[in-house]
A and B are shown apart, each in its own frame.
Chain A
Amino acid sequence: MNWIEIGREESRQKYEDYCATGNLGFSKDYDELRKDLVDLFSTALIKIGITEDQISQKNYSYQLDLQFGLKLYTTLNQKYGMNVRLAATDGVWRYLCSCVAPDLVEKRYGKDHPDRIWKKPKRLWLRVLWWYIYLSWQGTEEATEAILRDNSTDEILQLVDRCGRGGYRVGLYRELMKKNGTLDLAERRKNQLFRKMMVLNTARVQAVEPELTSGGNQGYVEALYSYFQE
Chain B
Amino acid sequence: MSESFSPYPLLGNEHYMIIGYASDCPSFSYMENFEEFPLQLESTGGTFSNHNGKISDPRCSWYPSTHGLTVRKTCRLAAAYHLFGEGGIASSTATIGIALRWISSKSDERGVVPFGTITKADSAKSFDVDYVFERGTLRGSLKLQTILYLKDAGTPKESEKYFAQQTGTILGVLEQEEFFVDGNGSVFPIAVIDAPGKALWNVYYNDASDPMQDKFESENVEIRLNKAHPNYDALKIESSMIESPLFIEVLSSALMVIVESVRESAGEDWENILEGTGFETGSIAEAVYYFITRLQWDVSSPSKTSASIKDFFEKGR
Give residues in A with beta carbon < 8 Å to B: 7-8, 83-90, 121, 131, 163-171, 207-214, 220
Contacts and interface: CB of A to CB of B under 8 A. Distances in A.
A168 B170 contact: no
Given A163-B108, A167-B108, A212-B114, A90 B281 contact: no
Given A7-B218, A214-B152, A167 B103 contact: yes
A209 B112 contact: yes
B139 A89 contact: yes
B105 A209 contact: no
A121 B119 CA distance: 46
Nearest to A211: B112
B111 interface: yes
Nearest to B8: A207
Size category of the B interface is 35 or more
A212 B112 contact: yes
Contacts of B138: 85
Interface in B145-188: 147, 149, 151-152, 166-170
Interface string B40-64: 0000000000000000000000001
A209 B219 contact: no
Nearest to B7: A207
A1 B99 CA distance: 37
A208 B171 CA distance: 9
Most chain A CB within 10 A, of B97, B114, B167, B281, is at: B167
Contact of B65 (A83, A163, A165, A220): A83
Given A167-B108, A209-B112, A212-B151, A85 B101 contact: no
Given A84-B108, A85-B64, A167-B105, A213 B166 contact: yes
A85 B68 CA distance: 12
A214 B94 CA distance: 13
Contacts of B168: 208-214, 220
29 contacts: A83-B137, A84-B107, A84-B108, A84-B137, A85-B64, A85-B65, A85-B107, A85-B139, A86-B136, A88-B107, A88-B109, A88-B139, A90-B219, A121-B219, A163-B108, A166-B110, A167-B103, A167-B104, A167-B108, A167-B109, A167-B110, A168-B108, A208-B166, A209-B101, A209-B149, A209-B170, A212-B97, A214-B151, A220-B168
A169 B105 CA distance: 11
B106 interface: yes
B285 to A, nearest CB: 13
Nearest to A169: B110
B249 interface: no
A163 B149 CA distance: 23
Contacts of A86: 65, 136
Interface string B115-131: 00000000000000000
Contacts of B281: 165-166
Contacts of B264: none
B280 interface: yes
Nearest to B145: A166
B152 to A, nearest CB: 7
Contacts of A90: 219
Contact of B99 (A87, A163, A212): A212
B65 A212 contact: no
A212 B149 contact: yes
Nearest to B139: A85
A170 B139 contact: no
A83 B108 CA distance: 12
Contacts of A88: 106-109, 139
Interface in B271-294: 280-281
Contacts of A214: 151-152, 167-168
A56 B105 CA distance: 35
Contacts of B114: 212
Given A84-B109, A86-B136, A90-B219, A207 B65 contact: no
A34 B277 CA distance: 45
B8 to A, nearest CB: 9
Contacts of A169: 110-111
Nearest to A131: B108
Contact of A85 (B137, B149, B280): B137
A87 B107 CA distance: 8
Contacts of B166: 207-208, 213
